[in-house]
A and B are shown apart, each in its own frame.
Chain A
Amino acid sequence: MTTTMDRRSLLTRAALGATGLVAAGAMGSLAPETAFAAATQYPEPGQPDPNFAEGLIIGRNQDLLQVQGSDGRLHRIQLTGVTSVWKLRPTTLDQVRVGDGLYARGVLMPDGTLAAESVWVNIVNLTVSITSIGRSTLQLEHHGQKVVGYVQPGLTAAVYNGTPAVSDLSMLKVGRHAQVIGAWRPGTNEIDIATVYASN
């Protein structure tokens, strides 16, 4: 596992234009599953984390994103050669587009830019009730709002009470609750489903 200083140094160099490929190879992957250093926590519990940002992408200049935070703040997020990207599945930097929503974690640089180690594009994690089941869609309700969930052949998986994920969705039931990890289709009430966790 890398240390926070290692990550800061690597991301700094990457954000400054040295894409960091040599450094990344020398220090290991910055993929999300390996990037969580057990360092002293900052910020305090209950407070905003300056190394995290969320919002809608309103502009992109090469690998610099302009993001309008949901609280109104503007963020500049630098994608680098070591940034991991998730958009329904692990993917590449070019899939990050204006209009997308995102969560980003990285290192806040002295100029206020967030050098991203991970971005999750359009990701949602919803506790829903299943209102109907079609061949390729699930009709869902989330906090009183209707959400259409699209099943993606070869990708969408179901987890039944902690069992290994399977592609068979036939044991989902109308009227039951579920938790859905998926990717929002911007500007709509629709999502593509990555994983659905079925309730009892």
Chain B
Amino acid sequence: MAGLNGEVSWFCCGNAWGPCASTGRGACGTCHSGNFQHAWPNTSDACFAITHPDTCGVTGMSRRTCGFRHSTTNLCNGSRVVTSIADCGPQTDLFCGERACCGGTCASNRIVDLTPAAFSAIASLSAGLIPCTIDVG
């Protein structure tokens, strides 16, 4: 897979406090907020039917299943983290065309969600949404 540009956010999973307590362990049953893991929009037909990145014109998003490794590079600062798939998501079609920018660098459409442990390795959790490049890890 050539580098795919888009937006990355974060999500909580596994045992958790507050509103996150209801989120569960993800589609793979292995997801924990403290692990280096991510959600990917094309883990199965059922997953793709929910996330529908194709409706936003996102191509090149290969079918990848639980445990597959991707690297996510923060386009704002160059930091990179390698994680494995633990859930289905994000729901790309809810935010079609959305853009995240830092300085003059922008990317459109949500293509990956990281766990808090992984996201905080490349950006502040309070940033919420940043432009990134995804590669095979």
Residues of A within 8 A of B (CB): 1, 32-34, 36-38, 41, 43-49, 52-56, 69-72, 86, 90, 101, 103, 105, 118, 120, 122-127, 142-145, 147, 161-162, 177, 179, 181, 184, 186, 189, 191, 194-195, 197, 199-200
Contacts and interface: CB of A to CB of B under 8 A. Distances in A.
Contacts of B101: 162
B19 A48 contact: no
A118 B10 CA distance: 16
Given A36-B123, A38-B79, A47 B35 contact: yes
B86 to A, nearest CB: 7
A185 B90 CA distance: 26
Given A43-B36, A70-B16, A71-B15, A49 B9 contact: no
Nearest to B22: A143
A46 B19 contact: no
28 contacts: A1-B77, A32-B120, A32-B127, A33-B123, A33-B127, A41-B80, A45-B69, A45-B137, A48-B32, A49-B35, A52-B120, A56-B17, A69-B34, A71-B15, A86-B126, A105-B120, A105-B121, A118-B120, A123-B126, A126-B19, A127-B90, A162-B97, A162-B98, A181-B126, A197-B98, A197-B128, A200-B95, A200-B96
A125 B84 contact: no
Contacts, number: 165
A46 B10 contact: no
Interface in B58-100: 67, 69, 74, 76-84, 86, 90-91, 94-100
Nearest to B80: A38
Contact of B18 (A34, A36, A45, A184): A184
Given A143-B23, A144-B22, A199-B95, A45 B36 contact: yes
Q: Which 9 A-B pairs have the closest CB atoms?
A: A32-B124, A162-B99, A70-B15, A46-B84, A184-B18, A36-B79, A101-B17, A45-B84, A199-B94
B10 to A, nearest CB: 6
A82 B117 CA distance: 20
A32 B116 CA distance: 14
Q: How large is the interface on B (under 10, 10 to 19, 20 to 34, 35 or more residues)?
A: 35 or more
Contacts of B27: none
Given A70-B16, A161-B98, A197-B98, A54 B124 contact: no
A197 B32 contact: no
Given A71-B14, A123-B126, A143-B22, A46 B97 contact: no
B77 A33 contact: yes
A157 to B, nearest CB: 11
Nearest to B18: A184
A143 B69 CA distance: 27
Contact of A47 (B22, B36, B99): B36
